[in-house]
Structure 1
């Protein structure tokens, strides 16, 4: 069973919500990213997203954009990130996702990218700029038992929600606002109704992200979802603490405990 699916099943049996944490791979460098993964896991993170830096990240706010720029400036490449995951997999079985823009996959080579992800132990892909209408060209080379294709839905998806979710697996990533990542908890005004609508259109677990930055945000949303996703706040804390893994672990504990 895919690690993501297994993790959600385990948590649901315990009546717990998944905490999904995001890291920009290569910020400030590859070696520190590996340390951050273990710090997140020790702090109580259930699933980890590794963002592959991209020059034009349309879904990312300034915090993650800056982190991606720092990583690219430090010389991170897709191959180095693949090697990073190989090393991580020697020490942990925590579910790992790539958040990756589709152009990166095209340049790397679709078949090569998917097969490499399978070999190194990536459990899922979140591709924010992959249109529903173009998804089939990637779906035909994916083995969904090995890698989940995580669908993204937004408050504006409405009548397209069922179509977006259809054929995907793992969980549904529900965007909580109409902006980019890293907003100040400016959630969609009718967010509870929107999340309920997503639930009614899918049998998959649903997780909400964008703008979640504190324990109060999590408490506000966790009764309506199966998991919460925190990204920019973690990246911001890493920069603030100058990459101190002990401080990072304690920060994650403040969100998960």
Structure 2
């Protein structure tokens, strides 16, 4: 359902993009069920801690940020789960209140704490997580004392890309788009900037959308171009790429003039969000060419 993970470097993890769109104001990206399965696999080699948070509990978001910092210093993976958006994951871990935290060690869950915790308590608990992981043979890259072996760092982002990422983290999607626009003015062949801009535009259009209302409007008015564009956005965020792309190809066939141009432009922009090597992108480009000519 989701695509190859990436953090606004080319192809995008659509589940993470949806989470960022929902939580752009807080700067915390949360996992979905597909991402959780990936974390469970990762925990076979290195422990992962998951902070359970809710928009109704500001202290839970602060806890998640602190836990991420503590985990990073110990070489442990970290993620956040929004219990409002992912009740099935919360139920699986028997989370009854937030904030809460659980570790995955060798694919097995280990409750850490439920309720507020100080940084000092988190550091102590993290040491226990690392020690348990070492005993289970699931501490790849962690030294004997629980310190992470240095990992190869990614090449630094170009300045304008970095500016866009900083803007995204503070929830200023307009500034992020402006930074990517400037990067493209300086280098029209900057494919990562083009993909980043498409992702930011998608986030901006969808951050306040009500999925049920969007789907209802599209079903009630199949000829309404704006309604169909909106539901295609939501389908892409949800990883339903074939539905989104197929909808817009058919809309290209059914429209003319300015409306057709708008639909074509939106479809091409949404294709930028996905890994260009994805076979669905190639098939859609071929279908679009057929619809146009």
Identify the structure with the greater strand proportion.
1
TM-score, structure 1 length as denominator? 0.29
Tell which structure's C-alpha radius of gyration is larger: 2
Higher relative contact order (CA 8 A, sep 6+): 1
Identify the structure with the greater helix proportion.
2
TM-score, structure 2 length as denominator? 0.27
